[in-house]
Structure 1
Amino acid sequence: MSKYKRYKLSCETHNVRISQIISTFGPGAIMDFRDQTLMTAAPKYWTKYDIIHDERLEKKLHVSEFRIHKDVDCNRGVPFVRFPGWYFCPRCKKFQHISKWEKEYKPLRKNSNEFMLKPICMECKIPIIPVSVLIACENGHIDDFPWVEWVHLHEGKICNKPKLKIVSNSGTLGLEGFRVECTKCKASNSLKDAFNKNTFKEIIEGIKYKSIDEGLRKKFKCTGNMPWKGKKENECSEFPRAILRNASSIYFPKIESSIVIPPYSEDLNTKVENSYQFEYFLNDKIKNEKKGTLDRFLKEDFEYYIEEIGKEIGEEDNIYAIRKIIERKIEGTDENVDENCNRNFYRAEEYDALLGKIAESSFNSSEFKIVPKNSAEYGMEEISKVTLVKKLKEVRALVGYTRINPPLPYIMGTDKSSDKSKVVNIKEYEDKWYPAYEVRGEGIFIELNSKLIDKWQQDTKIKNKAEKLSQRYNKDKNDELKREITPKFILLHTFAHALIRELSFECGYSSTSLRERIYCNSSEEEMEMSGILIYTASGDSEGSLGGLVKQGNPAFLPRIIRNAINRIKWCSSDPVCINSSGQGRDSLNLAACHNCVLLPETSCEEFNVLLDRCMLVGSLENRDIGFFKKYL
């Protein structure tokens, strides 16, 4: 974007939270502001940022650091690009690209080079409106809908110097009533067939509109456009499809999160990571890596930086410990280390830490503070462990996005994608960082009794339910990316949803302020896990003063769990919901809907799928198959 000029937008009308830039409205996503619609630009155009670290996640994603945009100067805020490009005037109905609107704008201004910050129709003197229809493909490309070509589709060729306008048909509802006309040749077309999945494919392959000009036909191919990067890719084999600008499927962020655990959460480690000398060391390391002189750099300058870091943080007497920390971090950035991309392998360390299987001296640090409880105090045989997490830090990194279909949540990074879900990497190939932000909060960790789960999931009816969801989930996935959906996972996932909803209902938390983290192995190769972590979703909001942890005490948690179970015994949509053979996206839920167990999507790891409350409370015909049947 260096070839483009930056223009300052109003901080009041174009304000966005940093957490949104690394989630819902990340690079490549579209944001509707009061006066126009913009797309968040690529992170490489950030000019001010802070550096944050999570050694485990850096190692997993093969980067040296994470960066969070530093919103200290409104003149250098988060960069955007103008997209989509087509606007229409709601009064005169003129419909054209923004470049033509600007040509009409500049001659009528005192300064003919003045940029049109707020799109406006100079004839009607009113703001113009961005069109709501775009095209996108599964490779992550997005572009303006081919309006000129679509209007002239029935004519077979485009007229000379076409001019478009919106023609509304008040007597026709839906897309058929949205018609665009060329005032030059009177050609017109509605959007009636535009949103059919295979429309563009059929046009390109000549199945439809066989008589149209070949040059016109090629205009319907994917352009490979990536406006947020300011470039187009040369070729794209995917067929584009029409999509609404505000559709949820236009942008699915791929976010990798990590709980910072000992030894990475210990105070000395945090001091080292926050020092300026450590930042200088990383910068020099990256420069020497690119030059091919890394070995010489480590041999000649390593000890110098160790001493400088010790001086800066006032730990000259801990040089040996600092050296060990830096050596460990260097090993963590080796691109050949830890190639397994399965999320469960990554979370095994967190699971052990939450169970208290770490040195007792690590129970109380500035970033990680836990209080393991005696499960006998809770009086529920289904629960084998409860840990109160008084302090935790989570790092959330935006690594990529998908369009049309959501990414695979259990695959970490962007290297592997399914046939349906193709993750576009946010960073440039040569960059050694991802955009990320930190969350500090608290939580409750609950481990369910694995012996009882093993016995419970032997029931044929339970197995059949899980098998049904597993087959649907793995449809169109190659063998390497298939994932076994077990009864245990559905049980843990639905239990987490029920608990969050009950905490929201009973304790005053908004459901968006709480998140789930599921610890569940899906094969014998993985460490056995059967736990959930419910924690505050934002560092400085609800629950940061101990409110959530308090609910995890023996005096409160058993009652909350019982109430959660009984609340989902019945749904206002029963018997339709509880007898459902499939609902939600791709029919990946059974007895689960918005009235009983679904959560805001920011709170759920699985995009609100793979849920079935029958696993907890049984069916109408047989309550005995529910894991928590004794509390009904």
Structure 2
Amino acid sequence: MNYMDNKISFSAYSALFNNVDNCIFTRNKVSNQVKWINKDDNDLNIKIKNEKRLKRILFNEIKSLYNNRINRYNLEGFSRINDEKIKDLEINKFFLVEDKFKGTSGQYSVFPRTFYCDKCGDLRVFSNTDEWKHFDVKNCRNKNCNGKYKQFNYVTFCPHCGQIKNIYPKCETHGTKYLKLIKNTENQKYWKVKCTKCGEFIDLYYSFCNHKDIYNLNHSISNEKSSKVMLLPVMQNSIFRSVVKTIVDVQNLEWEDNVDSIMLGSYLGKFNYLFSSNDNVNNPERILEYITTVLKTFEPHKENPQKAIDLGIIGPNLPQIVSNIENTITEIKKNYFDEEFTELTDYLILKNYFGDNKGNKKFTEYIEIHDSFKREFEKLKNILKISEITYIPDIHLISSSIGTNRGVSTLEDNYLNHFEPHWKSKDKDIFKVYSYPFETEGIIFDLNKVEVVKWLIKNKFLNGDEFNQFMDEDEAKNIIMNLDKDGEAYSHLKILLHTFSHIMIRRSSLYTGLDVDSCGELLFPKSAAFLIYSTSNINIGGFSFVFENSMIDWFQDVQLDIKDCIFDPSCLDDNGACFSCLYLPEFVCGFFNGFLDRDVFLGKTDRYCVGFWSIDIN
């Protein structure tokens, strides 16, 4: 490998978002850092239907993650992102190349540039480009040594301010010219560096971080006291982990700023007052069309509606109708956060509430034609608490890397990741996301909402006294819809859906022809549903085949998969999930294998007194 050849094209299809700005990949046992990814200016990707909606959703996610980090760690040296910064967000599509004649996907370089001889310990620290150009990794510079250089691939990470710093030791008198690495133990924490010129011993790295900005040492990013750093190995996903947000792409619609509110309001029946009691308003697509037509008609005359009424251009009742619609939209926005809009409207689009997926097939309808599945599916519905399974042949998704989590990631209480956007420059004035629009197929699983609410009540995540014990599907839907996203009930529902999703993905290769690396997932807690979709370059129709031929088999013995893990009882007792039973590759799982617990179904620990599959059917 030529270490100076920093412009080499490589395929990113298998793990697209592992190769974005700052992320690490390894080649020939040497770690490299991506400097930047080129954007697609030649429209090699498919079109993004609705970039304005995408930008709004991604901006709100970035703003929330970054500002929460600043608030949590009191990083007063960072500027918070305000709503006006949305104008400084760029949407870049990946420039994917298959051969070097079509250009390059981006640029990377060896990181860190610290090497030591595997025999004599000669330490080379490169901060000078000219020295790096003449570096020969295969030959030690000491004439009496026949050793080769190895990369010292460690950095320091401050858990408080989130800064990651290279380990570049130097002698105060002689700089980095005469350094030797002393490996007096197997633990890298205790390795020393010696200057062979003066004999001075030097600490390999500073054990404490003073929270000074590495780009401006006169600038402090936190007023907190110095904190102890962690020594982290530089390898894929160890120090920079890409944060990916996937949403459903929907066609551009009129009244873009309010389309999510109108969609959600239509689904919830908030606009039924616009129609007479004898009119059929069960078609949300029709409601959306009516409202957008009304708003579009009124828009040119909103400054002087009375004049338009006098001229007979609009009806006398139109201003009041528009006022009522706008008040309803305001009410919906007040009661539902923007991320809830995204989750719910994505679900509604997939379920064909607004006519985007004409070829959807519901399994309850499919078995009416193929009666042999009917009895088995009824058993599944009762045992596994599923209400519907829907095959979606044409899904338009956009996956976007919105930034990176720095350093150690954990799901401990009160811990917040050090999220950093993809800044375009060191000034942090413009930031960007990398988006990859694609078309695929998938299957969406809806859990029985009544059974979900009963399970939450029996585990005391919801107060049962507040709800009707004989609730119907609509009542249960409204309860789930109004769960607080920061509340206990929502969190455990998310664990339930995520665990179920992982079970089905891990079993998918047996029936779909797709291995776990070729699957993706989306969770919809507000709808008690989850989607599994194909991420393969070639759509082989695996989900179509399993839907029509092996759906019942896909669920076969699923309860046995949950019941046991080879690392039980410790796995179940600790957190109910591990690499042996539930984990998926991190580029498949959008939550880094968090929010997983087999006990949501079993109810064998003090985390859940009743398992979801143990609830009695009334």
Shorter-chain TM-score: what band? 0.5 to 0.7
Residue from 179, 193, 198 that aligns with 1:180? 193
Structure 1 CA distance, aligned partners of 2:564 and 2:132?
61
Contact 2:91 2:435 in 1 (8 A): no
1:200 pairs with 2:208: yes
Displacement of 1:44 after TM fit?
7.1
Contact 1:132 1:245 in 2 (8 A): yes
Contact 1:463 1:487 in 2 (8 A): no
1:608 pairs with 2:598: no
| Equivalent in the alignment of 2:364 | 374
1:552 pairs with 2:547: yes
Displacement of 1:444 after TM fit?
0.7
| Equivalent in the alignment of 1:347 | 343
| Equivalent in the alignment of 1:79 | 107
> How many residue pairs end up in the alignment?
454
Q: What secondary structure does 2:552 align onto?
A: helix
| Equivalent in the alignment of 2:157 | 136
For 1:308-323, list aligned pairs within 5 A: none
Contact 2:169 2:202 in 1 (8 A): no
Contact 2:138 2:149 in 1 (8 A): yes
1:496 pairs with 2:477: no
Structure 1 CA distance, aligned partners of 2:556 and 2:607?
19
| Equivalent in the alignment of 1:383 | 386
Q: What secondary structure does 2:193 align onto?
A: strand
Displacement of 1:446 after TM fit?
0.8
Contact 1:256 1:398 in 2 (8 A): yes
| Equivalent in the alignment of 1:537 | 535
| Equivalent in the alignment of 1:561 | 555
Question: Once the two structures are superposed, what CA deviation does each residue of 1:537-564 show, in whole Å capped at 9, x if it has no partner?
Answer: 2332xxx2211222234x5323322422
Q: What secondary structure does 2:123 align onto?
A: strand
| Equivalent in the alignment of 2:370 | none
- So what's the TM-score if we normalise by structure 2? 0.63
Q: What secondary structure does 2:32 align onto?
A: strand
1:168 pairs with 2:183: yes
For 1:108-507, list aligned pairs within 5 A: 121-123=140-142, 128-137=149-158, 141-148=163-170, 158-161=172-175, 163-169=178-184, 172-175=185-188, 178-188=191-201, 199-201=207-209, 222-225=212-215, 234-237=219-222, 241-246=230-235, 248-262=237-251, 343-359=339-355, 362-364=356-358, 369-374=359-364, 377=374, 378-379=377-378, 380-381=381-382, 382-406=385-409, 420-427=417-424, 434-460=433-459, 482=486, 484=488, 485-505=490-510, 507=512
Distance 1:84 1:622, change over 3 A: closer
Displacement of 1:491 after TM fit?
1.4
Displacement of 1:483 after TM fit?
5.6
Displacement of 1:591 after TM fit?
1.6
Question: Once the two structures are superposed, what CA deviation does each residue of 1:571-617 show, in whole Å capped at 9, x if it has no partner?
Answer: 22223322x1x4xxxxxxx2222222222222222211222212223
Structure 2 CA distance, aligned partners of 1:233 and 1:389?
56
1:514 pairs with 2:508: no
Residue from 600, 610, 616 that aligns with 1:625? 610
Contact 1:393 1:441 in 2 (8 A): yes
Structure 1 CA distance, aligned partners of 2:387 and 2:151?
56
The range that moved more, 28-37 or 97-106, is: 97-106
Q: What secondary structure does 1:538 align onto?
A: coil
Amino acid at match of 1:256: K
Structure 2 CA distance, aligned partners of 1:118 and 1:622?
53
| Equivalent in the alignment of 1:414 | none
Contact 1:167 1:179 in 2 (8 A): yes
Structure 2 CA distance, aligned partners of 1:159 and 1:577?
53
Structure 1 CA distance, aligned partners of 2:557 and 2:170?
59
Displacement of 1:31 after TM fit?
2.7
Displacement of 1:232 after TM fit?
8.8
Displacement of 1:419 after TM fit?
5.3
Contact 2:494 2:525 in 1 (8 A): yes
Question: Once the two structures are superposed, what CA deviation does each residue of 1:370-406 show, in whole Å capped at 9, x if it has no partner?
Answer: 3233267432242222210112232111221121244
Amino acid at match of 1:133: Y
Displacement of 1:53 after TM fit?
2.0
Q: What secondary structure does 1:603 align onto?
A: coil
| Equivalent in the alignment of 1:67 | 93
Structure 2 CA distance, aligned partners of 1:493 and 1:592?
11
Displacement of 1:254 after TM fit?
1.7
| Equivalent in the alignment of 1:297 | none
Question: Once the two structures are superposed, what CA deviation does each residue of 1:492-518 show, in whole Å capped at 9, x if it has no partner?
Answer: 111111111122355553212112211
Structure 2 CA distance, aligned partners of 1:70 and 1:623?
46
Distance 1:574 1:90, change over 3 A: closer
Question: Once the two structures are superposed, what CA deviation does each residue of 1:513-533 show, in whole Å capped at 9, x if it has no partner?
Answer: 112211002xxxxxxx11010
Q: What secondary structure does 1:391 align onto?
A: strand
Distance 1:64 1:100, change over 3 A: closer
The range that moved more, 507-516 or 38-47, is: 38-47
Distance 1:160 1:504, change over 3 A: same
Question: Once the two structures are superposed, what CA deviation does each residue of 1:146-184 show, in whole Å capped at 9, x if it has no partner?
Answer: 4227xxxxxxxx344462112233xx4323663322212
Distance 1:135 1:247, change over 3 A: farther
Structure 2 CA distance, aligned partners of 1:629 and 1:569?
12
Distance 1:190 1:126, change over 3 A: same
Displacement of 1:233 after TM fit?
9.5
| Equivalent in the alignment of 1:282 | none
Amino acid at match of 1:434: V
Amino acid at match of 2:188: L
Question: Once the two structures are superposed, what CA deviation does each residue of 1:429-468 show, in whole Å capped at 9, x if it has no partner?
Answer: 665853222333211111111011111221137779xxxx
The range that moved more, 502-511 or 613-622, is: 613-622
Displacement of 1:568 after TM fit?
1.3
Distance 1:86 1:223, change over 3 A: farther
Q: What secondary structure does 2:450 align onto?
A: helix
Distance 1:261 1:347, change over 3 A: same
Contact 1:442 1:535 in 2 (8 A): yes
Contact 2:18 2:242 in 1 (8 A): yes
Contact 2:115 2:124 in 1 (8 A): yes
Structure 2 CA distance, aligned partners of 1:100 and 1:622?
55
Structure 2 CA distance, aligned partners of 1:453 and 1:104?
60
Q: What secondary structure does 1:598 align onto?
A: coil
- So what's the TM-score if we normalise by structure 1? 0.62
Q: What secondary structure does 1:374 align onto?
A: helix
Contact 2:351 2:357 in 1 (8 A): no
**Runs of 5+ consecutive residues of structure 2 not aligned to the other structure:** 60-85, 254-332, 368-373, 464-483
Structure 2 CA distance, aligned partners of 1:341 and 1:50?
35
**Runs of 5+ consecutive residues of structure 1 not aligned to the other structure:** 1-5, 107-115, 150-157, 205-220, 226-230, 265-337, 409-416, 465-479, 522-528, 583-589
